[in-house]
Amino acid sequence: MHDFHWDYEVFLFLATLLTLGAWLLAKFKKHRSKQANKATWLSRTAAVGSFFPILFLVLSVRSFAFEPFRIPSSSMMPTLLTGDFIYVDKTAYGLKMPVFHNTLIETGHPQRGDVFVFRSVEDPAVDVIKRVIGVPGDHIRYDERSKQVWLNGAPLALQGDGFYQGFLDEIPGTGLRQNQATTGAASHVVLLSDVVRRSYPHTDLVVPEGHYFGMGDNRDFSVDSRVFGLIPEQNIVGKAQFVWMHWRPDDFWQGLKRIGHRL
């Protein structure tokens, strides 16, 4: 049983139910509204009910199809930058019930290398984005000294590719080195810092059924499964597909180049 949290989706769901009730009430009571005061009350009820089709459409699309998200931090650099707006496919991992998030129809499961959005393990009202490193049955080990990830007894290959020269406004002067990595079927870049070293509580575990292990591509500046542990499948929102907009007031043209960037 998961804790219930008030968020935008809950209010949208309740508003849809409220307007549905008003719409149905107006339909069934219409033929009985002979008196003036009843007619006035009915017209107000009908006005509330008129919002039902719009809210139902928004709730359906947001819950079952796709949802836009804005990247608020640098934990997925350089794959995703602060200011990216991403398209998240909510059909990739199954159709889920709004608010309660129980899977109605299974359409797939997260694969190693996927970039996915999930509700935070620490605060389910907050959405988080990371890369899938471990799936059910995997043995994950993270060596804090070498900053190496081991998957089922084998190291995930990292090939050094010099210093990162991109956006560093949020984490200045950290000497980030970029490394070419392959996780599952995904080839991507991982950033590691020469000066930052951290200890984590979850560095050696086997992923049980219905859970996943996620990490940020900006490894030393990411709060992920090494910190908060495994991600329950019920928390998963969907698979991030591409950047549909980017907004950085300090670099408009760079933002235009980000549009359409696939993940």
Catalytic residue among 63, 74, 96, 130: 130
Cβ proximity of 109 and 91 under 8 Å? no
Catalytic residue among 74, 75, 193, 222: 75
Q: Known catalytic residue: 75?
A: yes
Q: Known catalytic residue: 50?
A: no
Distance of CA 249 to CAs 166, 203, 254, 255, Å? 16, 38, 10, 9
Kindly report the number of other CB atoms within 10 A of residue 70's CB atom: 13
Catalytic residues, by residue number, are 75, 130
